[in-house]
Structure 1
Amino acid sequence: MRIALVSSPAELLSAREREFAGDLRSLAAALAVQGHDVVVYTRRETPDRAEREQLPPGVLLQWLEAGPARPVREAEVAPLLGALGQALAEAWREDRPDVVHAYTWGAGLAAAAACRQLRESALIGGGPSEAPIPLVQTFGSFGAEQHRRPGRVSPGLAKRIRLEVALARTADVIVARSDDEVEELARMGTSRDRIRMIPAGVDLERFHPNGPAEARTASVRLLAVGELSPLSGLETVIAALRGLPDVELLVVGGPDDAEEVERLQKGAAHLGVGSRVQFLDAADYAETVPDARPRLLRSADAVVCVPWHGPGSAAGVLEAMACGVPVVVTPVGAATDVVVDGVTGLHVAPRRPDHLADAIRSLLGDPVRHLGYGVAGADRVRSRYGWARVAADTERVYARLLPVVLEPVEDEVLEEVAD
């Protein structure tokens, strides 16, 4: 099968969508391992890169000319999506894929425009008719969900919401990553028979229980994972430390999160727990340093992810579970599906530091349950969330969209039937 995966320009991506773009690369690699011909398409942002790059194992990355070959401001990106659609159509005239899978709404708009151009040019040209290229869509986030968030609404969000609704009705299939996404799509008017639920995956070769752990000095270590934002619930975790003496908290952030880190540090100091909260540089634990993040996760007694608004990603929760570390989460977003309460981890109410502290004390004070959650979590991830399983589920979605090709019947068989 010839598969085209389309990614939005990086300038258009939120932090959560950049994580989804990383998932796209993992999915591409897993599909290639299964024997498919996979090409990832996106807009060129630097002039000095080759038009095509070979990504291991067996995935081709193709940069397309769509606007200036440089990073642009977010406000400049949307007008470039038309040019990206044109570039995709030109590429697919030369090398037609069997199926197109777009990641994020911007990529979906460009891919849908390209598929439409190819259909229209075939009709105008009067050449041999071909079946339309099937379009599969995965949304990294939703404009409507962002609109419901507290705080200032970004300009252009209303237009984005309208475009997402149109895209959801245009795509042949929408792949949702969680039950929350399924409900969001239903609110957008998407027919449920066109939605397929396939969760995000995790790299089981990188994240597993049987590896070294980062050294530590504190007797008990908590690690908070998730997006660094006022909606992430980190204030709740920091406040819970008042009921968890001798426990240190590690939070991984990046340079883009400096303002939020400063706010949280001031809050921790005000609560008298500042000396027990440490913020780590995300660059030190990125995918380019393969063993660093698993070592950090294995060093934790528990991993906490307690956002109070969703839908959110469960990537960090999956990685922790894969490493055999018990998790404590709020039932928000994908974590609701990933963590089975009382079996592979604990669900706690959002924005209740007293409840969170009680749950963590109870978990850490029961070694049998602590071990059981870790083992059950690792087993659940291995059986359901490995990229090989996710790719196989995605492959089945693609296959159902392809036209049935009948093998030619031999004359001998026809004669046999006639007799």
Structure 2
Amino acid sequence: MRYARPASLRVALVSEHASPLAELGGPDAGGQNVYVAQLADHLARRGHDVTVYTRQDSPHLLPEVITPGRVKVVHVPAGPASRVPKDELIAHMPEFGSFLAQRWRSERPDVVHAHFWMSGTAAMAGVRGLGVPVIQTYHALGTVKKRHQGAEDTSPPQRLATEAAIGSSCQRVLATCADEVAELAAMGVARDRVSVVPCGVDPRHFAPVGAEAGASSGLRRLVAVGRLVRRKGFDRAIRALAEIPDAELVVAGGPPADLLFAEPEAERLRKVAEDHGVADRFTLLGSVPHGRMPALMSGADLVLSLPDYEPFGIVPIEAMACATPVVATAVGGHLDTVVDGVTGALVSPAADGDRDLAAVIRSLLDDPVRMARYGTAGRQRVLAHYTWDRVADGVARVYSTVAATPSLSGVIR
């Protein structure tokens, strides 16, 4: 069913640390960058006037850039023109918000969409007194991070209270999965103020293709993709590999291959592989160019996505788009995207389930007919629910609804 597209809007996307122009693979560059870039591009294709506001993190950046898709990217001078760790950026949000307020007094948007909680603080400051509605997408919630990381959580101490205040003050919260709605409700955000629109994938890019030349080793290939951080669960995959002697594990992510020696998590994972006797069947690729990722995923027997927690999780739908079955932990967005027994398998996130994880992987590798069926179903599910066209349509409908409603946004209560 096709919906009538809403009238053209002036849309401001605020993404303080995740620029749509950033090269993926850095410590703070990942799914949010992709989301903002794709959403902006697809909204512009629909005739909306889209501007993305992101922090200037290099002295070499132009103040404004127009992308080939006619999206304007504004590099906001807030803090030093250099990379600042994400968790330290909150100190520069008042300056970011002041820039937005000054800009929007003369170039008033119809709707503001803030990405991540710190962007929300800047966006709310920017619209104060203007009556412009603010939509908030958190991309990750501090409550979830604190629950899983405990004392290792490096978030600013005010994060949880600020996230709750933004959720109560903005016009609408746009969540990416059903699990997030429950988390928001526990924070005090009324369910009727939350809309769910998932993340997406480009099924023309992520599509079944032939494996890269020289990729075959004669072993069954397990592939995992993501930033090299402990919560991604790559060590679980390594431990499971010890129970599957005819398989290899390939991990893509982190810095370029020639810099992996200086990456602490890479060294930790190599040590886990050595301790479990699978170092000869474990490969860290480092960062893999976007253009190579479909071949990497298509050449896998299974793609593993095993984080302890995941706000949405783009890797499973990229793999499904490539018609590759997925084994994923039953957390966050995985509960929406991966249909257990249809497009892949969901497993417990508990580390003590490593033997069960190996058994699930083994059962799939021993059943090529079932894996082919899962792969086909995964591709169909992506086309039905997770294309960027569908995502942009859903987000644009939310924009049109809030833009037609008088706004009380502007003060964080």
User: Normalising TM by the smaller chain, what interval?
Assistant: 0.7 to 0.9
In the alignment, the residues of structure 1 paired with residue 405 and residue 137 of structure 2 have an alpha-carbon distance, to the nearest angstrom, of 25
Partner of 2:63: 51
The answer to whether the 8 Å contact 1:320/1:326 transfers is yes
Deviation at 1:82, TM superposition (A): 0.8
Larger Rg, first or second structure (1 or 2): 1
SS of the aligned residue for 1:228 comes to: coil
The answer to whether the 8 Å contact 1:218/1:248 transfers is no
Letter of the 2:16 partner, please give it: S
* Aligned residue-pair number: 384
In the alignment, the residues of structure 2 paired with residue 249 and residue 72 of structure 1 have an alpha-carbon distance, to the nearest angstrom, of 33
Residue 9 (str. 1) matches residue 17 (str. 2)? yes
Q: Deviations over 1:74-121 (max 9, x none)?
A: 5652221111111111111221111110111111110000111x43xx
The answer to whether the 8 Å contact 1:239/1:268 transfers is yes
Deviation at 1:381, TM superposition (A): 0.4
SS of the aligned residue for 2:151 comes to: coil
**Are residues 140 and 86 of structure 1, via their aligned partners in 2, closer, same or farther at CA, if it must alter by over 3 Å?**
same
Letter of the 2:289 partner, please give it: A
TM-score scaled to structure 1, two decimals? 0.86
In the alignment, the residues of structure 2 paired with residue 399 and residue 377 of structure 1 have an alpha-carbon distance, to the nearest angstrom, of 31
Letter of the 1:146 partner, please give it: K
Partner of 2:187: 188
In the alignment, the residues of structure 2 paired with residue 49 and residue 230 of structure 1 have an alpha-carbon distance, to the nearest angstrom, of 32
Letter of the 1:27 partner, please give it: L
Partner of 2:303: 303
Task: List aligned pairs for 1:147-158, cutoff 5 A.
Answer: 147-154=146-153, 157-158=156-157
Partner of 1:27: 39
Deviation at 1:279, TM superposition (A): 0.6
Partner of 2:225: 225
Q: CA-atom RMSD, angstroms?
A: 2.2
TM-score scaled to structure 2, two decimals? 0.87
Letter of the 1:271 partner, please give it: H
The answer to whether the 8 Å contact 2:10/2:48 transfers is yes
The answer to whether the 8 Å contact 2:112/2:135 transfers is yes
In the alignment, the residues of structure 2 paired with residue 335 and residue 4 of structure 1 have an alpha-carbon distance, to the nearest angstrom, of 29
Partner of 2:372: 371
1:110 paired residue among 110, 117, 122: 122
**Are residues 75 and 295 of structure 1, via their aligned partners in 2, closer, same or farther at CA, if it must alter by over 3 Å?**
closer
In the alignment, the residues of structure 2 paired with residue 59 and residue 262 of structure 1 have an alpha-carbon distance, to the nearest angstrom, of 40
In the alignment, the residues of structure 2 paired with residue 90 and residue 100 of structure 1 have an alpha-carbon distance, to the nearest angstrom, of 15
In the alignment, the residues of structure 2 paired with residue 163 and residue 56 of structure 1 have an alpha-carbon distance, to the nearest angstrom, of 36
Deviation at 1:155, TM superposition (A): 5.8
1:213 paired residue among 203, 211, 214: 211
**Are residues 342 and 76 of structure 1, via their aligned partners in 2, closer, same or farther at CA, if it must alter by over 3 Å?**
closer
Partner of 1:334: 333
SS of the aligned residue for 1:101 comes to: strand
Deviation at 1:225, TM superposition (A): 2.7
Letter of the 1:161 partner, please give it: L
SS of the aligned residue for 1:89 comes to: helix
Letter of the 2:124 partner, please give it: A
Deviation at 1:142, TM superposition (A): 1.6
The answer to whether the 8 Å contact 2:322/2:379 transfers is yes
In the alignment, the residues of structure 2 paired with residue 105 and residue 353 of structure 1 have an alpha-carbon distance, to the nearest angstrom, of 34
Partner of 1:245: 245
Residue 268 (str. 1) matches residue 279 (str. 2)? no
Seq. identity, %: 40
Residue 286 (str. 1) matches residue 289 (str. 2)? yes
Unaligned runs of 5+ in 2: 1-8, 20-24, 407-413
SS of the aligned residue for 2:198 comes to: coil
Deviation at 1:274, TM superposition (A): 1.0
Deviation at 1:69, TM superposition (A): 2.6
The answer to whether the 8 Å contact 2:18/2:32 transfers is no
Q: Deviations over 1:215-266 (max 9, x none)?
A: 3223310002344333322222111122211211001131388211211211
Q: Which moved more, 1:134-143 or 1:62-71?
A: 62-71
Deviation at 1:44, TM superposition (A): 1.8
Structure possessing the higher relative contact order (Cα contacts under 8 Å, 6 or more residues apart):
2
Partner of 1:384: 385
